[in-house]
Amino acid sequence: MRIVPISEDECRELLQRVPFGRLGCALNDQPYVVPIDFAYEPEHLFVFSTAGKKVEWMRQNPKVCVQVDEIGNWSNWTSVIVTGTFLELREPQYTGQREHAREQLAQSSKWWRIPLAERREPIEDLAIEPVFFRIDITGMSGIRSIPEAE
Amino acid sequence: MRIVPISEDECRELLQRVPFGRLGCALNDQPYVVPIDFAYEPEHLFVFSTAGKKVEWMRQNPKVCVQVDEIGNWSNWTSVIVTGTFLELREPQYTGQREHAREQLAQSSKWWRIPLAERREPIEDLAIEPVFFRIDITGMSGIRSIPEAE
């Protein structure tokens, strides 16, 4: 197996095709990783989420990364890493972006049927408070495996 | 859908069952996330990897996290987060642990047929230098979704 870099266009195609990944944030040198759904646009990722540790951390340190992959097996995979900056979209001025992102998420993710993060439910187990944020992309790179046979 | 915490025992069962996850590291407040295979033991994760950015970063900041999940669909998933400390196993004293981890990895991961990271190949595209490290677990937690119907 060989591992080769992929082009930025190929990275963008993967982000368009796979609207699901892992978000990394960090505070005081401690990293933290959680799964997220996102809607990709050329310069941004839009995310609906629930409040909690990751949001508290990103409010203090907005540097984030998102890792997205397609994995067939050990010798057949592609992985993309996006670095970016967290921006919380709380203000009324972002209502349009929120609606747009909601539509994008509903279209792009087949199993995203109910926007969980937008539902205010009386949950005893864990409070679910909706948070809407944007990741402004500052860089991206990707690698891909090539099986020996090729 | 509800989201509930799972017990530490359930976290450990997932780590045993799913020997694959995403490793988060951080340097100067910038997080970085990559997919990894690991072999889980009660206090450690063992990882064979290739040299590169993540190893360079972990040598400077050994605080890491590993996120592991099983995702059926949007309302049926479990996610575990392990925090820990990176320890590179370079010295001859770790030969035993290396062999042990290699056996564990070969057993636990069905698609792990060839230990990539241990192969020194004359690769032009990206240099693959094997690195063997251990993550000493300092904490873990997990959450699970419960569909509405339950």
Question: B31, A4: Cβ pair inside 8 Å?
Answer: no
Residue from B1, B25, B32, B33 whose CB has the most chain A CBs within 10 Å, to mutate: B33
Percent of chain B whose predicted confidence (pLDDT) is above 90: 51
> Averaging pLDDT over each range in A79-83, A88-92, B143-147, which range is the top one?
A79-83
User: Is the pTM above the cut of 0.95?
Assistant: no
Which residues in chain B are contacts of A51 at CB distance < 8 A?
none
Please report which confidence band the pLDDT of residue A121 belongs to, taking 50, 70 and 90 as the band edges. Answer: very low
Q: What is the ipTM of this complex?
A: 0.85
| A13 CB neighbour count, 10 Å cutoff | 15
CA A54 to CA B55: how far, in whole Å?
24
Distance from CA of B8 to the nearest CA of A (A): 17
Please report which confidence band the pLDDT of residue B61 belongs to, taking 50, 70 and 90 as the band edges. Answer: very high
Tell me the β-bridge partners of B2: B146
Average pLDDT over residues B13-27: 95
- The answer, for A112 touching chain B at a CB cutoff of 8 Å, is yes
pLDDT at A108: 60
pLDDT at B125: 44
pLDDT at position B79 over 80: yes
CATH of the domain at B142: 2.30.110.10
Parent domain of A77: 2-146
pLDDT at A133: 92
- The answer, for B130 touching chain A at a CB cutoff of 8 Å, is no
pLDDT at position A69 over 60: yes
Answer yes or no: are the C-beta atoms of A67 and B54 closer than 8 Å: no
Q: Count Cβ neighbours within 10 Å for each residue of B70-94 and write b for 16 or more, e otherwise.
A: eeeebbebbbbbbbbebeebeeeeb
Please report which confidence band the pLDDT of residue B109 belongs to, taking 50, 70 and 90 as the band edges. Answer: low
pLDDT at A62: 98
Give how many domains chain B has, as a whole number. Answer: 1
Answer yes or no: are the C-beta atoms of A44 and B10 closer than 8 Å: no
Which residues in chain B are contacts of A111 at CB distance < 8 A?
73-74
- The answer, for B128 touching chain A at a CB cutoff of 8 Å, is yes
- The answer, for B122 touching chain A at a CB cutoff of 8 Å, is no
The tens digit of pLDDT for each residue in A89-114 reads 888 888 888 888 778 777 765 444 34
Which residues in chain A are contacts of B111 at CB distance < 8 A?
73-74
Tokens of B146: 């419960």
